[in-house]
Amino acid sequence: MESSLMRRRGGPTQPQKLISHWWGADLCDTILSATQDASGLVPSDLEEWLDEGCASAGPCLGSMALIASHWLCFLAVNQRRSICGSDRNPCTCGSEKFASGHALCEVDKFEKILAKMPGGVVVCLDPALGTLTRVWCLAEINAALHLDSPISFCLSRKMSTELESKLVSGKQAVPSVEDCEASCEEDKVRILDTVKSQQGFSRFNLEIKVLMEMQGPQVNGISAWIKAQTPRPFQEFTDRFFALAEEERRIWRVREVTSFDRARFLAALQNPARFEFKLTRD
């Protein structure tokens, strides 16, 4: 943060969102997901933007895109004080280790970190949706649910055809939280106990399903609702919104997020009549 490059960009900045990712995913997917979240571009437009040297999409980006800030654990957490030196991660660094639960442990404080992130959590999905099978990623999503923080799913590359077909048909695309994977069984037991006490497994699994339906690319949820609308009124509605000044659009989005009723929304999603609402031209 003290480099000349960072000083030219304003120096240290308080991060606005926590990036949730898993270490088995390609680093490029994590970086592209953060870029996608900051830019607001869909994957195809993001790819085109990068291929053309980040110049062509400039006018399409909001004024805040280039100063968006994210928190990444592998840049912020001293892993040598927690995971190295074990059988899984042999190391001779000699750093003093602090186990989960210790005041100086840096890998079990995600809820405290997330509480400082007004933008909530950005979940970086890989094409195989491996992120949603890892216990620490699910722990971060659970923390966001517990704090009622915003949750955004970003997928920088197209998911597999098999998974997309499952989502479109309403089938389960990722394992239940009870069947998640972990490198350390103790971590899994502790985190699942937290999920069970704060959300309950059924509620948590439903939340993941809803998030995938509403934010997963080319799946049901909001995409299906849009397809159920008469094209012209919906297009007019969209055009009217994007004709507003950028700041006014931002205010509307903030208002939409703060007024969101998750319980009512979850109940509506389980009601087949949820597509009965039609857009009007008023």
Tell me the pLDDT tens digit for each residue of 21-80: 988 888 888 888 888 888 777 666 666 766 666 555 444 555 566 678 888 888 888 877
Q: 19 burial class (0-12, 13-18, 19+ CB within 10 angstroms)? A: buried
Same domain, 179 and 248: no
Domain that holds residue 253: 228-282
User: Looking at residue 52, what is its pLDDT?
Assistant: 65
Whole-angstrom distance, CA of residue 248 vs CA of residue 98 = 47
Residue finishing a domain among 196, 219, 242? 219
Report the domain count for the chain: 2
Chain center to CA of 35:
12
pLDDT of residue 175: 87
Say if residue 185 is in the same domain as residue 86: yes
The arithmetic mean of pLDDT across residues 181-205, rounded, is 90
What pLDDT score was predicted for residue 224? 43
State the DSSP code for 174: S
User: Is residue 207 very low, low, confident or very high in pLDDT (cuts 50, 70, 90)?
Assistant: confident
Residues 81 and 206 in one domain: yes
Residues 87 and 51 in one domain: yes
157 and 266 together in one domain: no
Three-state SS string over 70-115 comes to EECHHHHCCHHHCCCCCCCCCCCCCCCCCCCCCCCCCCCCHHHHHC
Residue 196, pLDDT above cutoff 70: yes
- Using 50, 70 and 90 to split pLDDT, how confident is the model at 150? confident
Residues 105 and 234 in one domain: no
- Distance between CA atoms of residues 98 and 179, nearest Å: 27
Query: Are 181 and 255 within one domain?
Result: no
In three-state secondary structure terms, 181 is strand
Do 147 and 248 fall within a single domain?
no
Distance, CA of 124 to CA of 230 (rounded, Å): 33
Lowest mean pLDDT, pick from 137-141, 205-209, 220-224:
220-224
Asked if residue 267 and residue 173 are part of one domain, the reply reads no
